[in-house]
Structures are given as C-alpha cells and as structure tokens.
Structure 1
Amino acid sequence: MAEKGFLDHPDLIDRLEQLGMHINDKTKAEAELRRLGYHSTSGYRYPFRKLREPLTDELIKRREFRHDEFEAGSRFEDSIALADFDTKLRAVILTGIFDLEVRLRTAIAHVIAQKNPKGHLDISCLDTNRCLELTSSQNETSKFEAWKAQYESDKKSKNNDDFIAHHTLVYKTEIPVWAALERVSFGTLIHFYLLMKVEDQNDVARKFGVRQGTKFGSWLLSIMDLRNDCAHGARVFNKSMKRNVSVPPNSYFKKYLKHIDKTLTADKVYMPCVLLAHMLRCHESGTNWHNTFKTQVKKLPQIYLKELSEPLITAERNMGFPSNWQELEIWNN
C-alpha cells in the first residue's frame, strides 16, 4: 500500500468532504486544522466513520475496523467540539491528579521519615525482598537499584533548586526524604511506594480511604497511566486504559465505591477517575474536584447522526460510566 502524501489544509478539507463529512464553513475549518492538527483530530472523527461489516481476520490484524467514509449526518464542527471537550476533560483530570500527587508525596515522606530521615536510600526502611527483586528476567538490576538510579537522575536534573543547592553546600549530606520525594516524578514516586513495607503502604493507603496498601499501589499505577495520557495530549474520552484494576468490596473504606461491580467496563476512563475521586474525598483535606469533574463530563457534546436515534457518544457507552452515575454519592456533595 502506497504511503500517504502531503496535503495542504484546503486539500485536507476537500478530502473530508469527499468522504462524506459536512463542513459548514471551510475557512473556519482550515483554521481549526491549523489550531489542532489534522492527524491529532483524526481520533475525534473516527467515531463518525462507517463500520466495516463483516470484519475479517486480516482486517482485525491490521486494526481496520472502519471505512474511510463517514456516516450520513457527520459534521466537521461536531468532531471539533468533541476534541475541545476532551482537551478540557484532560485539564480537569490533571488538576485532580496534581492534587493527589502533592498529598501522596507528603504522606509517604512522613511515614518514611519517622524511620530514618534518609530512609529513601536505606533498604532496611523498605521491604527487603521486594527491593531485591530484579526489574525483569533479562535484567540483573534490582528494583531498589533501579529506584536509586532514577532518583539520582531526577535529583541531578534539579540540582539548581535552591533547597538542594543550600543543603549540599551547608550540610554536605544527602537531602532528607521529605525533600527528596519532592524532586522525583509521579511515576518514580509510585515505584518508591511499591518498595515500602506492607504495613507502611497500608498506613499511607488508609489516609486515602483504602484498606489494602497493595491494592492502593495498583490503583496508583492506573492513575499514573491516565496522567501520562493527559499530560501528552492523548485522547482519553473513549480510550482503553492500559491496566484493568479490580475494586473488591473489602479494599476500601466508606461507601463511595460500592457501586463498582463486574458489570462496569474496567478499562475505560471512568475507573481511574472514580478511584481518584474516592482518594481525594477520603483524605482529611477533602476536595471539590468531583464536582468539577462531573460538570465537565455533563458537557459531553450531544451528537446525532441521521441513522441514529440516540447520541453517537455517551459517557456510559464510550467512557465506562454507570447508567445512574449522576445520582451516585461519589459525584455529589
């Protein structure tokens, strides 16, 4: 198959029209492509494309589930509205994750500092067996060594921070854990949490309404994946998440998550977002993030095509939300 060649914005607009997408204002449409990009908005046009039926094994292998042509009633403006909705959704999600990140750094540092102010580099303060595990069967580096290497890399990139420079010059020793964990990425912070003793993990997890520290760790990894998607501008409204997380009834306190059962789609954006809302609401500082998130989700564009009697995109079908989600306690004051 010949590779796609370059097309200028007017030609791209003409191609979309030829494939059946209605464009009300070509000049404005070209401006939108210059603002958002043709390729980056392709995922928001994808739901408008006709499904291939039947799907052959070859088509599935090539991940060609839809035709290039659009369904009747497809409008360019609707695809842009969907893209703008997703942009704002990512911003709201990131705000919540940033809030969680600050609280998590504080909680972890407090638990470790009670053992040793330099406990982030003292294997005796952590779970020895887990620290000595290899990062993979093909790599002889232990998880503790990998953590230290990543920590040193993160710290080196921030050597000019006032606190690090001051501490290094005055005390000439390693910075304490409460400062050290401020200098690592969210992912590195979570991997450090996974090296902690189970009882210390439990101590941290309970501050966020979670009984089981190991389960809390798996939920954090799910939120980390979502954070990476949001930070890099990936589409999230209908994305399949990298990890499926389980939420057994005995893994959490309070009743915010009691609606989660096996009927919910575990690999959609709802799952990490409801876990995030639970963590923030259960923390002693409280939050209003759940209301902000709910408000944004309710702004999902209502898009109708000529052949459909219901919206093309819904929070329930495409984002994994339960049918009665707006009435649930987790999303209300």
Structure 2
Amino acid sequence: MSRKGYPKPWKSYEEQLDLLISRGLAVTNRAKALDYLQRIGYYRLSGYWYPFRERSGPFIFLDELGRKPAKKHRNVVKVALDEFRPGARFEDAVKLYVFDKKLRLLAMDALERIEIALRVDISHTLGEIDPVAYLHPELFHDSFSRDLNNGKGVTRHHEWLGRHARLINESKEEFVRHNKTRYGLPLVIWVACEVWDFGTMSRLFAGMRERDQDAISAKYGIHNGRTFATWLRSLNYLRNVCAHHSRLWNRNIVDQPKLPPADEVAWVTPFQDDSHLRARCYLLLRIARHLLQVVNPSSSWPGRVKAHMETFPDLTHLGLNLAGMGAPDNWETDW
C-alpha cells in the first residue's frame, strides 16, 4: 500500500544505487556500496552526500510586495539539485559518516564527565541550603518558580518536578530502592541528582537564583551564570544529537550558546563576530574542552579530539573541509 501524498516510490537497494549513479555519484565498488545501503540506509547516508550535490541560484526571496529587500535583510539561498558535483564518490559519503560517528562518540565521552561533575556542583550548592531544596520554589528564580510557562498554567518548576518524579519512579537503581525503603521520600538532592539526565540537570540550573548560578559558573571561569546556563542548554542539545545517532559534523546548531567576553575567556574571540562558527558543532566541542579543563585537567580527551579531527577525509575536490563544522583558522593551536 502506498502512502497517499508521498510522491517517492519504494526502491530496492539496487534501484537506489542505480539512481545515485545516474545522478553522477561515482561508485568504485558496487558490492560494498550495496552493503552500506543495506546496513546504514539510503536516507541516513543522504545527509552525508547532500553537500556533494550541485547547487543552483543564488536566489533572493522577495518581500510581500514582490520587491527585493535591502541587502542587509536579504535571504539568499542556493537550492540543492539532484545531480552531484564532478568527482563526488559514494565512498566519500561513507568516510564522512564514519568520521561523524567517531566524533559523536568522542562528544558523548566528554558529556558524561561534564554531566556527572555538574550534578555534584548543583546538588552540593543547593543541598547546603536545604537537603530537598529542589522542592522549594522560594529557593529558585521567580521566572522558574512563579511565572507561568507559555500559557500552560504551570510554572517551569512545576514541570521540572513532574519530570523529576517520573525519573525517580521509573528508576531501577538499587540506591533509589534502598533510600526509598530506609528513609522514604523525598530523596535528598545529593541522592536524587543521580537519576537526572542532562536535560533535567540543565533546566534546574537555568532556574536557580543568580547568586547560586554564579557560584557554580565561577568554578569554570565564567562569571555570568546566565551565560553558563546557555552553555549547558547547548550541550544538552549536543547530547541529544549524539544519543539519537544524528548527523553532527556540519549540522546547524539551533540552540546556540551565549559567549562570555573575550577578556574573560580568550578562546571565544574568533566566534564573536562569525555567525557561521557560532552555528556549528566545533564551538560546542570547544566548550566541552573548556569545562573538562576543570573537571579533569589531565584528560586525554583534547588530544583524542584533535587527532580525530586531523583524520577528516580529503574532500578538497568537493570544497569541503573542517570549516564545515565551524573550526576556525589555526584551530589546532587551541587543543
């Protein structure tokens, strides 16, 4: 049964490969290409050969009266065509896919350490105030604990408590069962924090009072805790991309972090006036490196990331390089 309104028919793996070849994608080993299509899938791989496609345009969108907008307001786009650029090869897309997979694994390695350390920072800071501080709205910023969230009729704190309760209720961890049995509910925050995921943690940090945020962010060399909150939110976005095995290397980062002043954190300088660099994953990797310098200064992670980035496939014949993931000039000196 075909899906009504969807114009593209089902195709066999052979037909998928023949379609790509007809559009100009070179295939040097047909058997291997078919194997990749069967194991990874056409749709997932298409994100990696998308940059190989020819472009038409550029086109400028007109305003509602059909006029060309002023230059600074123009939305200029190039449309991807079905045909591939000369020299594009199926194996190049696979190389990009493998590079991206290893990049995501490296990102997850850093995010695990950062998440665990920040759970401790948050639970230690709030736990000193009250062992179950997370239950008390007066211990959080008004925008989190009093303001209603987008017409939902509840506060962000109320929503957060619902998420937290589900995590406690669904947890199969022995330490949760033990604490419930011996001490009952609610769990003290330094125990409860162990069930938080990155998103739960980052949302609670965003709702904390400014002085409490600042106390934690200062540990990482960031004086403004609100800026630090955007770092955690963006790292949570990065974590979700990686956890769902989504393409990372040239993804446009929707949830972009704010940057501290360059006189506070010198390495942000190249990113401040470059919207492309701020919208790519390299910035989030650099933020992770900044945090790991505090969490684990002796970590081999920065060296492993640098070594991996140096393995980026040679795609100069297609105009692709590390700039696609937002790496600034001379990025190597920063690792």
Pick from 166, 180, 187: which aligns with 1:153?
166
* Cα deviation, residue 272, structure 1: 1.3
Structure 1 counterpart of 2:45, from 26, 41, 45 = 41
Match status 1:17 vs 2:24:
no
Aligned to 1:308: none
Q: TM-score, normalised by structure 2?
A: 0.88
Give the SS at the match of 2:81: strand
Equivalent residue, structure 1, for 2:332? 326
Q: How does 1:260-271 map to 2 (within 5 A)?
A: 260-263=271-274, 265-271=277-283
> Helix, strand or coil for the counterpart of 1:225?
helix
Residue 69 of structure 1 aligns to a residue in which SS? strand
In structure 2, the residue matched to 1:298 is: 310
Structure 1 residue 64: Cα displacement: 7.6
Answer 1 or 2: which has greater helix percent. Answer: 2
Mapped partners of 2:82, 2:296: distance in 1: 51
Tell me by how many angstroms 1:242 deviates. Answer: 0.6
Shift of 1:256: 4.2
Report how far residue 108 of structure 1 moved. 0.6
When residues 204 and 295 of structure 1 are mapped into structure 2, their CA distance, relative to the original with a 3 A threshold, is: same
- For structure 1, which runs of at least 5 residues remain unmatched after alignment? 306-310
1:76 matched to which residue of 2?
90
Q: Are 2:198 and 1:186 equivalent residues in the alignment?
A: yes
Aligned-partner Cα distance in 1 for 2:176–2:27: 55
CA distance in 2, matches of 1:104, 1:302: 38
Which residue matches 2:136?
122
For residues 58 and 162 of structure 2, the distance between their equivalents in structure 1, rounded to whole angstroms, comes to 51
2:321 matched residue in structure 1:
314
SS of the equivalent of 1:41 reads helix
Q: Give how far 1:167 is off.
A: 1.4
Relative to structure 2, which stretch is displaced further, 268-277 or 99-108? 268-277
Write the mapping of 1:1-333 to structure 2, written as runs, cut at 5 A.
3-55=7-59, 57=61, 65-136=79-150, 138-158=151-171, 160-249=172-261, 252=264, 255-263=266-274, 265-283=277-295, 286-305=298-317, 312-316=319-323, 318-328=324-334, 331=335
State the AA in 1 paired with 2:220.
F
Q: What is the RMSD computed on CA atoms of the aligned residues?
A: 2.3
- The one-letter code of the counterpart of 1:275 is I
For 1:251 and 1:233, locate their aligned partners in 2 and report how far apart those are by CA, in whole Å.
36
Q: 1:139 to 1:117 in 2, by over 3 A?
A: same
Whether contact under 8 Å (1:212, 1:252) holds in the other structure is: no
Alignment partners' CA distance in 1, 2:158 and 2:290: 33
Deviations 1:22-60 (A, max 9, x none): 1011111100111211100001111111101243649xx
For residues 242-300 of structure 1, give each alpha carbon's deviation from its aligned partner in whole angstroms, at most 9, with x where no partner exists.
123331326845x4445543136211112111111111113465533222111111111
Unaligned runs of 5+ in 2: 63-74
CA contact (8 A) 2:111 2:239 kept: yes
d(CA) in 1 for partners of 2:297, 2:124: 16
One-letter code aligned to 1:88: K
- Aligned 8 A contact 2:100 2:247 in 1: yes
Q: What is the distance in 2 between the residues matched to 1:182 and 1:283?
A: 17
Structure 1 residues 95, 123: closer, same or farther in 2, change over 3 A? same
